[in-house]
Structure 1
Amino acid sequence: MYFLNNKTAQIDDLLARAAEKLQLDRTRREKIESSYKAIQEVLENDPDFFDTKTFEIYPQGSVRIGTTVKPLSRNEFDLDIVLHIQGRVYEQTDPMRIFNELKRVLQGNGTYKDKVESKTRCVRLNYADNYHMDILPGCQHSADDENKIVIPDRELKEWLISNPRGYAKWFLNKAETIKMTLLEKAYEAEEIPSDDFAAKKPLQRAVQIIKRYRDLFFEETPDYATSSIVLTTLAGQLYQNQDSIFETIDGIVSQIYGQVNLSRLKRIKVLNPVDSDEDFTDKWGKEPKYYSEFIRFVESLYKNWQKLKEDNGIVEESNILKGVVGENIYSDSVKQQTLITEDYRQKGKVFSSSATGALGSKVVSDKPVKKNTFFGK
């Protein structure tokens, strides 16, 4: 079996399974989609402001680019959506008007009135059952770029430029440079039906795993955890079109580690790839503790990944991976992988090398392994 013969493919299989367990399942995705479609309908029926506007609502952030990760300590997802009003409405509208009109409609609706919370740039709906939704209101900035919007800032009381849809397009274009993942190739070679998890791009999986390690690393000090937008942007900028999740993470983390060590006296900057005037890491300049904690995090992940590249044996590798994705997630992923291996064994497709006794596929071995009936027969 290919991922029994190839260490990188074997780890990729485990990482993909772990990431799959961390993300939104289909039921929750469908529930979230129905939630923001319901909000669009409520706004369309508003007779005082939104009925005269053309707008759409769409997800942004990790939901849009496929990099969601379930929080550690709670069964809750954060959903970020955009209320994108078409046309240059902002030129005749005070920044706070859009924000206040959105809040007014939601507070006046029986379904949402007790869920509304004002944030700096969005209106939050706190759902009781397992997630909250942040609605970012914005207006199209110009006719030249339908993705670029201006959004109101409650503290500054002015319009700020944003481009969440443009950012998602940038990231997904990076991810799609690989047409077939290492796992897809491995499953195809072994004539195993490929689950959807094998097709998800290495860059998306890498971001999920890096974010998961971030959550574990900062579990005791969550206030200093590096933001997802910084990690996602770095990953997209440093991705070198690897078809393997393991090699993608290795390449990204090694480059970040190198940049940090070359810039000890001056912090690195992570700029918005679709708006270079926006520094996602401006907080690092104002509060250096965030940057020093980022360095600690990068150094820790880098050292762990270097250990994985060595021949430490299955026990040490298991301990490292447990530390990266969490013990329960790792254990469940190993169980799934074992079931596939056992299925291969039952079909007589796993062979034992007459020279080493190691398990493998027909490609590298020559002695069939007896079927395991679990009854000693």
Structure 2
Amino acid sequence: MKTNELPNSWSVTASATAAQYLERLARELDVPVSRYEEAERRYDSVGRWLCRDDSTLKDLNPDVYVQGSFRLGTPIRPINEDEHYDIDLVCELTASKTGNTQQQLKEMLGHEMRLYAKANSMQEVSEGRRCWTLQYADGAQFHLDALPALPDGEIKRQLLVEAHLNTDWASTAIAITDNEHPGYRSISERWPHSNPRGYTDWFRSRMKTSFRQIREAMAIEAKASVEDIPSYSVKTPLQQTVQILKRHRDMMFEDDSEHKPISVIITTLSGLAYQGERSVAEALGGILERMESHILYDHRRDVFIRNPTDPQENFADRWRGAPEKRTNFFRWLRQAQEDFANIATQVIPQRLVEAASRSFGARPAQAADAGRSRTVTLAGLYGKTSSVMTASHKLPAPWPASRTGSVAISHVTWTGKGFSRPTRLHSNGQPLVKGASLSFRASTDIPGPYEVFWQVVNTGVEATVAGKLRGGFDLGSVARGNVTHEEDAAYSGSHTIECFIVKDRHLAARSGAFVINVN
């Protein structure tokens, strides 16, 4: 059943000025790369400690990995400089539920965490409901929550099968400790469950295409392999939208953090509502418009926000005992819609800053405006290549995929005015002079007969004004076994061309984008 708590007709389109501003704002809200790297060093250090030769847990093969926003790529800078970053870890141990209670497993990890804190001259470890918390020294701005867990994918799968629910993500489920659980001190098969790896896989599946395109573009600019680009340096419109919504929530509930909408609800509903939009403004508008439609209700009108990787878990289960949490969520969503609509309609930079300051804070709002005069490259996380790779006018391939071979743009030359000899051109190389003639040759191992299509994607003011952004598919020709194509560098900007081989009405191979820069 759908709710009537919010209007379903809400919709807004951002101005070009506001759309560009929101891209910069998202970058200002993101955690600096140095923080990601520091977080990685800290949880690696804990993992090495638990696996050291004299660790009491060594024989239980500790598997330590990060969960939460740092794993999803959605952490945000604290509102105040004095606030800390949370690093959420899972310490997965190959122990048995038949030989250990939740309490015993938690104490086993607690013993080692106390030793770690002592060895590193840290404060005494504190115990939470589910985790052990390490507090780092003043100035580090980090605290680390370590969750003890056991692998429990098969048990979770059986429970879902019995309930006739989806088991697609169950294999990575874990059993966790919770000192408020009725079986905390008893030997039992029924432990609380979680699935941070499965949730991450689900969230990434919602943005798979844009993540891949942006990462490939970053690799091209950095002249590196895709694998060399760390996943935390890639930010998709879905991740950036989650960051914007979380900051808006934090500002709105700065004086009532206990009852603010929790991040996992915002992240889940955003992931469900995301439809592959290629810009922050489009994603933000679409998600705010569709978010409510993914909230379910039972026969008592209780809210059910289903965990996509564990259909038995309701992320809104605490709303029953705390109705103000439910009220605050819908109040926040209405305010987010109103504030985004206000920002989206602005075309004057100063008005944008004023509107954004109220929703996100003065510092990031002003920094996003100052960013208008800064050139940011993909090597620094974003840039013009990212824009052309994720341009909204770039159409998806219309053929069903059945990759049976490969194709590569193997040879590209350009000839400028007044030049008689063609010059070899490399992808994303030095800018060409406008008016140059381009010749592309592709090589493929697909046996004939087949069809060849070329996709040209232009960006920039000149191409926009001329109505030549393109983004569709042009039928090419194959002459004597040679796959070639000719173009002119007619517009300033960054542009791409990609070759597609279609056989029996299926996409047999695609080359990947070749980037051309034109002055």
Per-residue deviation, residues 286-310 of structure 1 (Å, max 9, x unmatched): 1101111111111111112223444
Give SS of 1:139's match.
strand
Shift of 1:39: 1.2
In the alignment, is residue 361 of structure 1 matched against residue 368 of structure 2?
Answer: no
Q: What letter corresponds to residue 124 of structure 1 in structure 2? A: T
2:146 and 2:349 map into 1 onto residues whose CA distance is 46
Give SS of 2:176's match.
strand
- Of the three residues 326, 336, 340, the one matched with 2:371 is 336
Give SS of 2:325's match.
helix
1:64 and 1:280 map into 2 onto residues whose CA distance is 19
**43 and 112 in structure 1: CA distance in 2 versus 1, 3 angstrom threshold:** farther
- Of the three residues 112, 129, 142, the one matched with 1:120 is 129
1:40 and 1:60 map into 2 onto residues whose CA distance is 14
2:112 and 2:234 map into 1 onto residues whose CA distance is 41
Give SS of 2:172's match.
coil
Q: What letter corresponds to residue 170 of structure 1 in structure 2? A: W
Per-residue deviation, residues 153-180 of structure 1 (Å, max 9, x unmatched): 1122432111011001100111223354
Give SS of 1:67's match.
coil
Q: What letter corresponds to residue 234 of structure 1 in structure 2? A: L
Q: What letter corresponds to residue 117 of structure 1 in structure 2? A: S
Shift of 1:98: 1.4
Per-residue deviation, residues 83-104 of structure 1 (Å, max 9, x unmatched): 1124x62232111111101111
- Of the three residues 141, 146, 159, the one matched with 1:130 is 141
1:325 and 1:306 map into 2 onto residues whose CA distance is 14
1:38 and 1:259 map into 2 onto residues whose CA distance is 39
**119 and 258 in structure 1: CA distance in 2 versus 1, 3 angstrom threshold:** same
Shift of 1:239: 1.0
Q: What letter corresponds to residue 82 of structure 1 in structure 2? A: V
**161 and 310 in structure 1: CA distance in 2 versus 1, 3 angstrom threshold:** same
Q: What letter corresponds to residue 70 of structure 1 in structure 2? A: R
Give SS of 2:97's match.
helix
Q: What letter corresponds to residue 139 of structure 1 in structure 2? A: L
2:354 and 2:297 map into 1 onto residues whose CA distance is 30
**217 and 329 in structure 1: CA distance in 2 versus 1, 3 angstrom threshold:** same
Is the contact between residue 106 and residue 148 of structure 2 (CA under 8 Å) also seen in structure 1?
A: yes
In the alignment, what sits opposite 1:213? 248
Give SS of 2:175's match.
strand
In the alignment, what sits opposite 2:51? 44
Per-residue deviation, residues 60-111 of structure 1 (Å, max 9, x unmatched): 011011000122133410110111124x622321111111011111213422
Shift of 1:232: 0.3
Q: CA RMSD in A?
A: 3.3
* Structure whose residues are more often helix by fraction: 1
In the alignment, what sits opposite 1:72? 79
Shift of 1:18: 2.4
Is the contact between residue 238 and residue 252 of structure 1 (CA under 8 Å) also seen in structure 2?
A: yes
In the alignment, what sits opposite 1:327? 362
Give SS of 1:11's match.
helix
In the alignment, what sits opposite 1:165? 197
Give SS of 2:133's match.
strand
Shift of 1:285: 1.2
Is the contact between residue 56 and residue 112 of structure 2 (CA under 8 Å) also seen in structure 1?
A: no
TM-score after normalising by structure 1: 0.78
**314 and 18 in structure 1: CA distance in 2 versus 1, 3 angstrom threshold:** closer
Give SS of 1:209's match.
helix
- How many residue pairs get matched? 333
Shift of 1:276: 1.1
In the alignment, what sits opposite 2:315? 280
1:198 and 1:94 map into 2 onto residues whose CA distance is 40
In the alignment, what sits opposite 2:208? 176
**39 and 155 in structure 1: CA distance in 2 versus 1, 3 angstrom threshold:** same
* Structure whose residues are more often strand by fraction: 2
Per-residue deviation, residues 170-195 of structure 1 (Å, max 9, x unmatched): 001112233547xx8xxx9xxxxxxx
Shift of 1:116: 0.5
Shift of 1:19: 2.5
**Runs of 5+ consecutive residues of structure 2 not aligned to the other structure:** 1-12, 158-169, 185-190, 222-230, 377-383, 385-430, 434-459, 467-519
Shift of 1:257: 5.1
Is the contact between residue 24 and residue 70 of structure 1 (CA under 8 Å) also seen in structure 2?
A: yes
**85 and 63 in structure 1: CA distance in 2 versus 1, 3 angstrom threshold:** same
In the alignment, what sits opposite 1:353? none
TM-score after normalising by structure 2: 0.58
Is the contact between residue 148 and residue 177 of structure 2 (CA under 8 Å) also seen in structure 1?
A: yes
In the alignment, what sits opposite 1:99? 106
Give SS of 1:108's match.
helix
In the alignment, what sits opposite 2:173? 148
After TM superposition, the structure 1 stretch with the greater mean CA deviation from structure 2, 105-114 or 241-250, is 105-114
